[in-house]
Amino acid sequence: MASMIPEIAIEETQGDIPQLTGDPQSRRRPRLRYWRGVVLFLAGVYFLIPLYAGLRFSFQNDAGQFSFYAVEAIPSQTGFTAAFFLSLRLAAVTTVLTMVLMVPTATYVHLKLPKMRRVLDFVTILPIVIPPIVLILGILDAAPRWLKASPYLLSLVYVILALPFVYRSLDSGLTAIDLKTLVEASRSLGGRWISTLWHVILPNLRAAMLSATVLTIALVLGEFTMASLDLWTTLPVWIYQFSQLDAHIATAVSMLSLIGTWVLLTVIVSVDRSQSRRTRRRTGIL
């Protein structure tokens, strides 16, 4: 019996991410907790107060009283529906394109070209630092005219912007599963590549793909620079134009899209965690 106790204690302290403070000397703990409390409190203040302010502003009328008018009035505003559905269509096209491009690429690199992972790491981080405004300059110059006439040019560019988040999400998903064994088993049972990808790899990558999808949608629903310079009234561009008319309604739309995305992503990550407790996710999103 006595030998059981330490084991239980160990299980208690190990979460699904390796603990950094497996600190046996308990005298250090209070100081660390105190320090962590201060950091979390400050971060909470900095990140939550603006969210609260945005929400409060969304639920206020012009006289400053609590009111649902802004939220209720959103769907009936001129141009909102058009902008919203344009953004949704762009988000859908971007997501499908990104997945079709990146899932096979990431899988292939993991299986066959592990040395290329460093290169892919580097290339896919570039969109974080390449200024969207410079990129759109070049794209408006280099893209053929028929493509420039279509809003889906934006989707093609958003695929690039989504790369850093999507690739890292897929990469950690692929690292978490025993890809090689799975593929070899499928192949030795006579599965072709395409059916291996569809029936074996995709189901195992479901969680990584879902969170990549949500991040892609968040990106498309929030991207302002390129859409406005390409002269398409997507949701953020509409918010910007409409804010001159009614800032309460415009803020309500931005708050809804932000909180909606966050809740959706948290639900996905939580559901995934409860379903696959055994596989240790190495990292977060990126």
Partner 1 sequence: MAPFTIYTILGLGIPTLAVIELAFRTEHGQLTFGNMSAVSQGTYRLGFENSILLATITSVIPGILGLFLAYAIQTSRSGLLRRLVATASGVLANFGGINLTFIFIATLGSTGVLTAWLNYIRLNPWHYGFNLYSFFGVVIVYMYFQIPLMVLVITPALGGLRPSWREAAENLGASSLSYWRTVGVPVLLPSVLGGMLLLFGSGFAAYATADTLTAGTVTLAPIQIGEVLNGNVISGEEHIGYAIGFGMLIVLSITMIFYGLVRRRASKWLR
Q: Does 156 bind partner 1 (CB under 8 A)?
A: yes
Binds partner 1 (CB under 8 A): choice among 5, 129, 189, 194: 129
Q: By CB under 8 A, what part of segment 158-177 binds partner 1?
A: 159-160, 163, 165, 172
Residue 131 contacts partner 1 per CB under 8 A: yes
Q: What does the alpha-carbon distance between residue 47 and residue 60 come to, in Å, rounded to a whole number?
A: 21
Q: Name the segment binding partner 1 (CB under 8 A); options: 79-87, 177-185, 201-209, 225-233.
A: 225-233
CB-based contacts of 90, cutoff 8 Å, min separation 6: 151, 152, 154, 155, 158, 220, 234
d(CA 104, CA 202): 10
Check binding of 24 to partner 1 (CB under 8 A): yes
In whole angstroms, how close is the CB of 157 to partner 1 at the nearest point?
A: 7
Pair 79, 238: CB distance under 8 Å: yes
Contact call for residue 82 and partner 1 (CB under 8 A): no
Whichever of 32 and 82 has its CB closer to partner 1, that residue is: 32
Determine the Cα–Cα distance for residues 260 and 257; give it in Å rounded to an integer. Answer: 5
* 126 is a contact residue toward partner 1 (CB under 8 A): yes
Q: Which is nearer to partner 1, 128 or 245 (CB)?
A: 128
> Rounded CA gap, 251 and 50, in Å?
12
Q: How far is the CB of 89 from partner 1 (least distance, A)?
A: 19
Q: Should residue 225 be labelled a site residue for partner 1 when binding is judged by CB under 8 A? A: yes
Stretch 242-261 residues interacting with partner 1 (CB under 8 A)? 243, 247, 250-251, 254-255, 257-258, 261
Which two structure tokens, joined as six digits, stand for 182?
């799975």
User: Could you say which of 62, 78, 138, 193 contacts partner 1 (CB under 8 A)?
Assistant: 138
Q: Taking the complex as a whole, how short is the minimal distance between the CB of residue 243 and partner 1, in angstroms?
A: 7
**Alpha-carbon distance 181 to 110, whole Å?**
12
Segment contacting partner 1 by CB under 8 A, of 84-92, 119-127, 184-192, 195-203: 119-127
User: Is residue 193 a contact residue for partner 1 (CB under 8 A)?
Assistant: no
Stretch of 71-79, 83-91, 188-196, 238-246 lying at the interface with partner 1 (CB under 8 A):
238-246
88 lines the binding site for partner 1 (CB under 8 A): no
Q: Which of residues 194-223 bind partner 1 (CB under 8 A)?
A: 211, 215, 218-219, 222-223
Size of the site for partner 1 (CB under 8 A): 97
Ranges within 32-51 binding partner 1 (CB under 8 A): 32, 35-36, 39-40, 43, 46-47, 49-51
Cα(107)–Cα(102) distance, integer angstroms: 8
* Residue 189 touches partner 1, criterion: CB under 8 A: no
